């Protein structure tokens, strides 16, 4: 919203010794955000009428001349000029150095073809005062030399505040200049003039020709109408608005249409109350009905656009047809035209949500609907009506108000005030700065609150225009005081609070451990991909769950129209991009996957770790890292060559037939580690090997990280190592051997590892050396015991089908 | 020294100085100090000499023997060292060929910049006694709106801002403020916590707008909490984040869940408050909304408003990251593009 400071000055005397920037900043800190402070027409104060006293040729340019001008203050200047009509004796506009003309054209001191020019002589277009671009603007001979154009042409210079509309959504009272003026008056502790006094009102009432209105009014149930005020004015003459009215509107960003429409807009901008003026002769049957659109499907608004109606939209109609979409825009059929002489004036109030709903649906947000959306005060309808009549009578002196001003609707009864009780102490305590009670009372009274002292309490009556959606409780009053004294004046204070220790939650600790491990140990990069995916990507990844239950009704794009059932499809897409840039990389994402279930949806914390290499499968290194990660998380994993349905659906075709292992921890599925199937890789146009580990953290995150470290005194007796080499079919996983030996019931077995594997080429067998370490913490192992133990190890292997290698 | 010993010594020293390798040195050793070496033979050659001479020669030749043995041992050591060094040279590696010079694909590692800054801010708050909480991304109407004093017809619930699911009861949380509601449900006052996480807005994306971004919510509830306390926390936090004394100002701002509500601006870090293009010449940059928790919100959280009050704030993490690093396109954050994240690598 644009606020004209000249307009504000009609109601309040602003301090003189303050720059426009300071004014804007103070207002921003106290009331609402001033996005831009703009001085308009300022150059008219700088540009003066001067007299050309002499013209000389330019020494080095044929088309240019040097004009000497009389500045009117006894001084003269020489200006380089190229206009064809420059000649001695004429009076022309002169822009001095540093004046800024329209189009941000700044006059700078400069030499033109070697001659210094002190400013510029101007034409009409350069000053935006006309369309003639032939040469210099010439003033009549009697024009006063030295007079600024602002004075000569009667052009008002002004300062315009551009207010961020979002910062006044909760302040319906600030959508007009008078409401803004009340804020200025409070912020700068100045008096707010009251142009709308009781005397003023009775003067207007005296102009009304009493009697029942010729227009019958019906307000039907189910409409947005809260209050409806109307009047009939006859004998008006539609024509141009006076300059002051045009100036006001243009400074607030509106175009002048004609005097009646301009008055309507002026009152909206002054009091914040949108209103509508109909051509009375277009109201059929002398009847206004506020009803739902019902059967009417279409309506042509003033802007000549056809609007589709819903049956529940509120319409202002006559006996036969709709005339306006309530609170949004009038119709082409009943607007004020040049031939209009009789008016039906409406100042109404409408239910905010209903106006917003209709306006959003039809995509028409007007100055009117923008205000009604904020929940205006019905009490202002009558004031706005008085003001409209006041102005019509001023501008069209022959106008007659025929019949009573009628006011009705559910909200037309007198205001029953909102009362709030607070105290200076509560305000001081909450703000954390001492505020004197007298000052509190002063601020509130300036803001039109009524304040009554009751002991140390203050009983406050909220004015109707602050009570609709804005001020309703003590905290609101505290805010009023805080913003006016300036939150800036509050000194920061550390709160008094008892000492409490804080420890990261188990989930947070784990998250950090996981990320640290993957970065510092696996040298991976953390990435983020969108939690939403599209059907096309899921299909491309051949993902079996389409998550139809978690589709968004208003997605921005079809590529992100539902929650991801897994991180895999998004990561495949990201990888396909990354392989274009890198031959090898490791990455991880710590995110969530979303599934229908529970009350509505279940969100699983998921870790996805991936490694890509153009040359060789990174599966083994990834598997090793996940095993280490289990230790970092104090988990004892179990690795099995199978798919865990809960982690990756078994019907998914993206898994490599052999490089695929399921990991369980705490008896529950924990992770699936696999290489992406080459056929899916080619679907994503990736050449190389991509291994992924999907880790479902939902069962482990909230478990307290416990340390399983148990100290043992260092062994005093030597251990004994036994290697035996056995023959194993080449397809057999060697983990099987470790498993077999680990199960041998000898408590002195300290460790079982694979020491060596020899796989002859073209053989169906491999030779595997199993190393078993025996240790007795209490004694030296005897030869007898060892021989017996070695035998048991060999026997267990033989029993499992792995005979000793015979040289 | 007796003449004969001196003679053998001279003879040895001459031979020793000509030794070139270990083998000839060993020969020299046996020639002089071996079982029947020259030095041992000296005494034997003096069978007929008087006792005094024998004693003198014996003493001198023993001395010489010691000297010779030491010289030889030292020489052996130096030959051995030479040999080891020669061997080392043979196995010499090119120590200039560091991994970072080789093309092994992408070898840098690090955290996503948003998660890094999130941790940094979490740590600041933990050091001030705040807990860290989180909540679901898929929220219900109650936790995202109603309990935050955003009534049924409030514009914030409009389709333009909120991603809704088909049942029109569930949505993607539009702010981390829903964590406030969850926090109040699970805690007894006094308490203070922050809630970082992803939030979602139904907004067309471009270089500065995203449909998924990150916020960090903060809430402190206790007895006699004041606006002055809120400013204190914000100033402390921001000075920590920006690693220098940061000036802040509060101006009125409207958010349904706080009253009084503020927009907190920080003095522009680019121009130091003088005015530049970043701060639109104002010297201030809007950074975060905050305020005193609205009594209705506390009531929804079953908190006794006659005893407790508090403040809350929300911080946009993506903005902060973008400001810190001068990132020009917010869409990079969720792109999964390693060219982007690798710029913030730890190593």
Tens of pLDDT, residues B59-78:
898 899 999 999 999 999 99
Give the closest-approach CA distance of A478 to chain B in angstroms. 7
* Cβ pair B231:A352 closer than 8 A: no
DSSP letter string, A440-506? HHHHHHHTT-EEEEETTEEEEEEPGGGTTTT--SHHHHHHHHHHHH-GGGPPP-PPP---------H
Asked if residue B323 and residue B177 are part of one domain, the reply reads: yes
Question: How close are the terminal C-alpha atoms of chain A, in Å?
Answer: 96
- Candidates A80, A76, A92; CA nearest to A117 is A80
Residue A334: CA count within 13 A, CB half-sphere? 26
Asked if residue B291 and residue B205 are part of one domain, the reply reads: yes
Residue B85 region by backbone torsions, left for phi larger than 0, else alpha for psi between -120 and 50, else beta? alpha
CA A268 and chain centroid, separation? 28
Residue B184 has pLDDT above 90, yes or no: yes
B106 part of a folded domain: no
* Rounded-to-integer distance, Cα A589 and Cα A610, Å: 9
Mean pLDDT computed over A46-52: 93
Asked if residue B133 and residue B196 are part of one domain, the reply reads: yes
Beta bridge partners of B264: B250, B288
Interface test with A, best of B118, B259, B337 (most A CBs within 10 A): B259
Question: What residue in A sits closest to B220 (Cα-Cα)?
Answer: A495
A733-742 pLDDT tens trace: 999 999 999 9
> What are the residues whose beta carbons fall under 8 Å from the beta carbon of A103, sequence distance 6 or more?
none
Asked if residue B340 and residue B305 are part of one domain, the reply reads: yes
* Rounded-to-integer distance, Cα B57 and Cα B4, Å: 8
Beta sheet of A450-454, edge-to-edge order: A418-423, A457-462, A450-454
Cα dist from A511 to A356, A507, A635, B119, B157, whole Å: 44, 6, 15, 11, 33
* Cβ pair A502:B131 closer than 8 A: yes
Choosing from B91, B123, B143, the residue where a domain stops is B91
| Lowest mean per-residue pLDDT among A666-680, A731-745, B37-51, B315-329 | B37-51
Band (pLDDT 50/70/90 cuts) for residue A753 is very high
| Lowest mean per-residue pLDDT among A154-163, A220-229, B157-166 | B157-166
Query: What pTM does this model have?
Result: 0.84
B335 part of a folded domain: yes
Reduced DSSP (H G I as helix, E B as strand, rest coil) percent helix, strand, coil of chain B, to 5: 45, 20, 35
Asked if residue B117 and residue B67 are part of one domain, the reply reads: no
- Candidates A185, A141, A180; CA nearest to A161 is A180
* Rounded-to-integer distance, Cα A139 and Cα A49, Å: 8
Contact call for residues A336 and A346 (beta carbons, < 8 A) = no
Band (pLDDT 50/70/90 cuts) for residue B1 is low
- Candidates A532, A364, A555, A373; CA nearest to B159 is A555
Band (pLDDT 50/70/90 cuts) for residue A619 is very high
- Candidates A565, A657, A672; CA nearest to A626 is A672
Asked if residue B29 and residue B143 are part of one domain, the reply reads: no
Return the pLDDT at A27.
94
Buried b / exposed e along A677-704 (16+ C-beta atoms within 10 A): beebbebbebebbbbbbbbbbbbbbeee
Residue B155 has pLDDT above 80, yes or no: no
Domain tally, chain B: 2
Instruction: Tally Cβ neighbours within 10 Å of residue A573.
Output: 19
Choosing from B33, B58, B91, the residue where a domain stops is B91
Can you read off the two tokens belonging to residue B113? 């910049």
**Residue B257 three-state SS:** coil
Question: What residue in A sits closest to B332 (Cα-Cα)?
Answer: A528
Return the pLDDT at B278.
75
CB pairs under 8 A between A and B: 245
Q: From start to end of A614-709, where are the E strands?
A: 638-640, 655-665, 668-676, 689-696
**ipTM score of the complex?**
0.89
Return the pLDDT at B49.
81
B98 part of a folded domain: no
- What mean pLDDT value characterizes chain A? 94
Beta bridge partners of A325: A315, A329
B221-246 pLDDT tens trace: 999 999 999 999 999 888 888 888 88
Question: What residue in A sits closest to B162 (Cα-Cα)?
Answer: A554
Can you read off the two tokens belonging to residue B135? 């909540």
> What is the percentage of chain B residues whose pLDDT exceeds 70?
99
User: Between B279 and B9, whose confidence is greater?
Assistant: B9
* Rounded-to-integer distance, Cα A21 and Cα A37, Å: 7
Can you give the CATH number for the domain in which B144 is found?
3.30.930.10
* Cβ pair A356:B153 closer than 8 A: yes
Band (pLDDT 50/70/90 cuts) for residue A171 is very high
Residue A14 has pLDDT above 90, yes or no: yes
Mean pLDDT computed over A307-321: 96
Residue B159 has pLDDT above 70, yes or no: no
Return the pLDDT at B282.
80
Question: What residue in A sits closest to B256 (Cα-Cα)?
Answer: A170
Interface test with A, best of B134, B251, B283 (most A CBs within 10 A): B251
Return the pLDDT at A311.
95
B104 part of a folded domain: no
Interface test with A, best of B336, B343, B346 (most A CBs within 10 A): B336
* Rounded-to-integer distance, Cα A547 and Cα A532, Å: 11
The residue assigned the tokens 């509601």 is B181
Closest residue to A526, CB basis, from B115, B229, B334: B115
B96 part of a folded domain: no
The residue assigned the tokens 């280490």 is A628
* Rounded-to-integer distance, Cα A490 and Cα A482, Å: 9
Asked if residue B324 and residue B188 are part of one domain, the reply reads: yes
Residue A359 has pLDDT above 90, yes or no: yes
Band (pLDDT 50/70/90 cuts) for residue B160 is low
Give the closest-approach CA distance of A222 to chain B in angstroms. 17
* Cβ pair A526:B229 closer than 8 A: no
* Rounded-to-integer distance, Cα A526 and Cα B109, Å: 8
Cα dist from A564 to A550, A590, A592, B170, B200, whole Å: 9, 14, 8, 16, 14
Positive or negative: CA dihedral A502, A508, A513, A519: negative
A360-376 pLDDT tens trace: 899 999 999 999 999 99
Asked if residue B75 and residue B130 are part of one domain, the reply reads: no
Band (pLDDT 50/70/90 cuts) for residue A660 is very high
Residues of chain B with C-beta less than 8 angstroms from the C-beta of A589: 336
Give the closest-approach CA distance of A28 to chain B in angstroms. 7
What is the enclosing helix (H) or strand (E) of A757?
A: strand A749-758
Asked if residue B194 and residue B50 are part of one domain, the reply reads: no
- Candidates A410, A411, A414, A404; CA nearest to A230 is A404
> What are the residues whose beta carbons fall under 8 Å from the beta carbon of A388, sequence distance 6 or more?
A263, A264, A267, A275, A277, A345, A347
* Cβ pair A583:B103 closer than 8 A: yes
B107 part of a folded domain: no
User: Between A102 and A160, whose confidence is greater?
Assistant: A160
Instruction: Tally Cβ neighbours within 10 Å of residue B184.
Output: 23
The residue assigned the tokens 């020019």 is A117
B190 part of a folded domain: yes
Contact call for residues A571 and A589 (beta carbons, < 8 A) = yes
Asked if residue B216 and residue B265 are part of one domain, the reply reads: yes
Residues of chain B with C-beta less than 8 angstroms from the C-beta of A586: 106, 109
| Lowest mean per-residue pLDDT among A174-188, A470-484, A513-527, B18-32 | B18-32
Return the pLDDT at B247.
86
Asked if residue B83 and residue B219 are part of one domain, the reply reads: no
Residue B192 has pLDDT above 80, yes or no: yes
Q: A176: which DSSP letter?
A: S
Q: B283: which DSSP letter?
A: S
> What are the residues whose beta carbons fall under 8 Å from the beta carbon of B168, sequence distance 6 or more?
A553
CA B248 and chain centroid, separation? 29
Can you read off the two tokens belonging to residue A725? 């080499």
What is the enclosing helix (H) or strand (E) of A57?
A: strand A48-58
* Rounded-to-integer distance, Cα B232 and Cα B235, Å: 5
B46 part of a folded domain: yes
Choosing from B39, B58, B91, the residue where a domain stops is B91
Task: Give the residue numbers spanning the domain of B10.
Answer: 2-91
Q: A559: which DSSP letter?
A: G
Return the pLDDT at A102.
85
Asked if residue B310 and residue B217 are part of one domain, the reply reads: yes
């Amino acid at each position: 919203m644009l606020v004209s400071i000249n307009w504000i000055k009609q109601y309040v005397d602003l301090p003189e010794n303050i720059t426009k920037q300071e004014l804007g900043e103070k207002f921003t800190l106290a009331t609402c955000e001033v996005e831009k402070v703009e001085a308009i027409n300022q150059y008219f104060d700088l540009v003066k009428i001067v007299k050309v006293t002499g013209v000389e040729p330019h020494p080095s340019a044929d088309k240019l001349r040097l004009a000497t001008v009389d500045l009117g203050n006894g001084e003269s200047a020489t200006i380089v000029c190229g206009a064809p009509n420059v000649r001695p004796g004429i009076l022309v506009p002169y822009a001095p150095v540093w004046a800024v003309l329209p189009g941000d054209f700044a006059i700078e001191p400069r030499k033109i073809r070697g001659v210094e020019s002190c400013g510029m002589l101007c034409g009409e277009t350069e000053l935006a005062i006309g369309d003639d671009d032939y040469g210099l603007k010439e003033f009549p001979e009697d024009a006063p030399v030295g007079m600024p154009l602002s004075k000569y042409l009667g052009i008002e210079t002004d300062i315009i505040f551009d207010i961020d509309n979002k910062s006044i959504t909760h302040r319906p009272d600030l959508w007009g200049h008078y409401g803004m003026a009340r804020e200025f008056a409070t912020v700068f502790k100045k008096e707010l003039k009251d142009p709308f006094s009781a005397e003023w009102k009775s003067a207007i009432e005296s102009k009304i020709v009493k009697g029942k209105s010729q227009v019958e009014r019906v307000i039907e149930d189910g409409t947005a109408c809260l209050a409806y005020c109307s009047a009939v004015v006859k004998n008006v003459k539609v024509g141009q608005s006076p300059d002051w009215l045009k100036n006001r509107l243009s400074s607030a960003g509106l175009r002048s249409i004609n005097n009646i429409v301009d008055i309507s807009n002026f009152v909206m901008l002054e009091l914040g109350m949108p209103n509508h003026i109909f051509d009375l002769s277009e109201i059929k049957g002398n009847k206004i009905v506020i009803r739902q659109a019902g059967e009417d499907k279409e309506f042509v608004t003033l802007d000549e656009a056809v609007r589709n109606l819903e049956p529940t939209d509120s319409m202002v109609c006559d006996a036969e047809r709709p005339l306006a979409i309530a609170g949004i825009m009038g119709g082409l059929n009943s607007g004020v035209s040049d031939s209009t002489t009789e008016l039906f004036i409406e100042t109404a109030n409408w239910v905010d949500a209903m106006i917003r709903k209709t306006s959003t649906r039809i995509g028409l947000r007007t100055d009117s609907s923008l205000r009604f959306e904020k929940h205006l005060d019905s009490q202002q309808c009558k004031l706005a009506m008085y003001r409209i009549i006041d102005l019509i009578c001023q501008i069209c002196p022959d106008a007659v108000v025929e019949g009573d001003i009628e006011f009705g609707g559910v909200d037309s009864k007198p205001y029953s005030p909102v009362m709030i009780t607070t105290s200076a102490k509560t305000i001081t305590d909450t703000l954390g700065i001492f505020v004197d009670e007298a000052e509190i009372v002063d601020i509130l009274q300036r803001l039109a609150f009524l304040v009554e002292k009751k002991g140390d309490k203050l009983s406050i009556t909220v004015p109707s225009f602050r009570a609709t959606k804005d001020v309703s409780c003590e905290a609101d009053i505290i805010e009023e005081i805080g913003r006016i004294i300036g939150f800036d004046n509050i000194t920061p204070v550390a709160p008094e609070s008892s000492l409490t220790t804080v420890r990261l939650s188990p989930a947070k600790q784990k998250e950090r451990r996981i990320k640290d491990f993957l970065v510092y140990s696996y040298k991976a990069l953390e990435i983020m991909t969108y939690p939403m995916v599209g059907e096309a990507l899921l299909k491309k990844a051949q993902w079996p769950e389409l998550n139809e239950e978690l589709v968004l009704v208003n997605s921005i794009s079809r590529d992100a129209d539902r929650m991801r059932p897994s991180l895999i499809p998004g990561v495949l897409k990201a990888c396909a991009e990354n392989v274009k840039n890198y031959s090898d990389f490791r990455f991880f994402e710590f995110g969530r996957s979303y599934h229908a279930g529970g009350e509505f949806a279940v969100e699983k914390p998921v870790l996805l770790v991936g490694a890509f290499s153009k040359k060789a499968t990174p599966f083994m290194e990834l598997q090793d890292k996940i095993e280490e990660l289990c230790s970092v998380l104090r988990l004892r994993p179990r690795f099995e060559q199978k798919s865990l349905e809960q982690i990756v659906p078994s019907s998914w075709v993206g898994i490599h037939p052999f490089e695929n292992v399921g990991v369980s921890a705490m008896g529950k599925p924990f992770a699936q580690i696999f290489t992406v199937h080459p056929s899916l890789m080619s679907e994503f146009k990736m050449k190389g090997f991509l291994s992924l580990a999907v880790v479902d953290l939902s069962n482990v995150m909230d478990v307290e990280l416990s340390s399983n470290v148990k100290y043992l005194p260092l062994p005093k007796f030597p251990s004994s190592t036994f290697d035996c080499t056995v023959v194993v079919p080449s397809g057999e996983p060697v983990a099987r051997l470790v498993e077999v030996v680990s199960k041998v019931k000898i408590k002195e077995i300290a460790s079982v590892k694979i020491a060596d594997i020899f796989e002859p080429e073209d053989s169906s067998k491999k030779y595997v050396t199993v190393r078993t370490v025996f240790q007795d913490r209490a004694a030296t192992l005897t030869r007898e015991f060892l021989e017996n133990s070695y035998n048991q190890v060999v026997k267990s292997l033989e029993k499992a089908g792995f005979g000793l290698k015979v040289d | 020294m007796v003449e004969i010993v001196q003679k053998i010594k001279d003879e040895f020293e001459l031979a020793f100085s000509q030794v070139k390798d270990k083998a000839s040195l060993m020969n020299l050793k046996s020639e002089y100090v071996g079982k029947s070496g020259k030095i041992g033979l000296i005494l034997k050659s003096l069978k007929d000499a008087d006792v005094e001479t024998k004693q003198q020669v014996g003493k001198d030749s023993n001395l010489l023997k010691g000297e010779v043995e030491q010289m030889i041992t030292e020489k052996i050591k130096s030959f051995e060292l030479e040999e080891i060094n020669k061997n080392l040279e043979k196995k010499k590696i090119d120590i200039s060929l560091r991994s970072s010079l080789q093309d092994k694909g992408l070898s840098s590692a690090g955290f996503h910049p948003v998660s890094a800054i999130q941790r940094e801010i979490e740590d600041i708050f933990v050091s001030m006694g705040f807990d860290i909480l989180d909540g679901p991304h898929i929220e219900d109407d109650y936790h995202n709106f109603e309990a935050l004093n955003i009534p049924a017809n409030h514009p914030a619930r409009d389709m333009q801002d909120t991603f809704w699911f088909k049942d029109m009861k569930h949505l993607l949380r539009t702010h981390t403020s829903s964590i406030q509601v969850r926090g109040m449900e699970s805690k007894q006052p006094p308490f203070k916590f922050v809630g970082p996480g992803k939030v979602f807005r139904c907004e067309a994306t471009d270089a500065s707008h995203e449909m998924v971004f990150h916020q960090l919510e903060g809430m402190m509830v206790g007895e006699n909490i004041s606006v002055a306390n809120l400013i204190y926390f914000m100033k402390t936090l921001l000075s920590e984040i920006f690693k220098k004394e940061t000036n802040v100002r509060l101006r009125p701002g409207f958010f349904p869940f706080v009253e009084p509500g503020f927009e907190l601006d920080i003095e522009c870090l680019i121009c130091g408050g003088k005015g530049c293009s970043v701060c639109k010449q104002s010297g201030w940059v809007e950074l975060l909304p905050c305020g005193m928790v609205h009594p209705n919100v506390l009531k929804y959280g079953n908190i006794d408003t006659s005893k407790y009050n508090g403040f809350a704030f929300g911080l946009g993490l993506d903005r902060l990251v973008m400001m810190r690093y001068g990132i020009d396109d917010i869409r990079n954050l969720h792109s999964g593009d390693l060219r982007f994240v690798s710029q913030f690598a730890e190593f």
